[in-house]
Amino acid sequence: SLWTWVQQVGQRAEAALAEALDAQASGETVTPELIDDALAALPLAIGADGVMVPFRPNPKTPAGQVQWREVKVGILARLGSRMTRAGEGVPQLLRRRLVAVLGTIDEFIPPLQLEATRQGVDTAPLVVWLSDGGRGFWRVYRTCFASAVAVLDFFHAASHLARATQALFDTLTSAEAQAWFRRWRHLLRHGQAHRVRQTLTQLIHWPGWSASAFATLLQVQAYFQRHHQHTRYQTFDRLGLPLGSGMVESACKWLIQQRFKGVGMRWSEDGFNHLLLLRLAWANGRFDDLFPSVPKSLTDPSPNL
């Protein structure tokens, strides 16, 4: 049956990944994939995020309350550019590769490191890390890619300015609150993030805040202080870098949500992992590698060729 085939081939893919990770952990050299000179000269962008997937609470039965578990997703791509109809240059992802793990951040790091090495992270002219404010994924950055240029998703950062505005005015809808928020967002986007941090620091020293408003302002101020190197959006824009983590959010949607979050779906751990590995092999152009004994037809080649 198709289910049996997925389990058998998925187990083979699982064993191959485990072997590669063991070799990496033992210090064996990971060979980068071949890449042409034009692509090798482009920056390598790496991003990560999480997406929740529904699982069965008990093996071999759908009975019981659904359990939601996070799948960590990573994307690696060379950053090219293309022209829009308006004649504006915008980033374009080339040679996209994906990593996904049902597990902890510590379980996610080795496969991401493996794929990064395969994609030439050690020789790329520039490595860029893109993520929102989730602390776990910034630990991935510090552990694996600390020398990379790191970009905090602008829209995620702006949402924290909205939180601070709400704390200041107890509303986001008044004209004064909207004007304050727009000014903050403009400063953040156009190279004045230090002024945003200064204002937040001044505000938390004002007396008279309610406990909840003070807690929010303190959290937002600490957030921007923690990410002060990652909010240089004017500089990032001049370098032609994305200002948001849309590339990984998109990967979460089409790799995970479209296939694993259909109506009524609830997965077993083995069933999910085996199908996920096949989906990754297909997305990364390695599906044929799972069938080494099958001759490749020249008249009907695989789409992975």
Mean of all residue pLDDT scores within the chain: 92
Residue 218 clears pLDDT 80, i.e. is over it: yes
**Contact criterion met (CB below 8 Å) for 172 and 261:** no
Share of the chain above pLDDT 70, in %: 96
pLDDT at 87: 83
Please indicate whether residue 298 or residue 21 has the higher confidence score (pLDDT): 21
Per-residue burial over 214-225, b = 16 or more CB atoms within 10 Å of its CB, e = otherwise = bebbeebbebbe
Following DSSP, what letter does each residue of 70-97 receive, concatenated?
Answer: EEEEEEEEEEEEEE-TTS-EEEEEEEEE
pLDDT at 288: 82
Residues 260-283 have a mean pLDDT of 93
pLDDT at 296: 62
For residues 65 and 267, what is the distance between their CA atoms, to the nearest angstrom? 12
Strands 67-83 and 44-55, sheet pairing:
antiparallel
Share of the chain above pLDDT 90, in %: 78
User: What does the domain layout of the chain look like in residue ranges?
Assistant: 2-153+244-290, 156-230
For the chain, the 3-state helix, strand and coil shares in percent, each to the nearest 5, are 50, 20, 30
Radius of gyration of the chain (CA): 22
pLDDT at 1: 74
For residues 71 and 261, what is the distance between their CA atoms, to the nearest angstrom? 12
Residue 305 clears pLDDT 50, i.e. is over it: no
Residue 300 clears pLDDT 50, i.e. is over it: yes
**Contact criterion met (CB below 8 Å) for 132 and 245:** yes
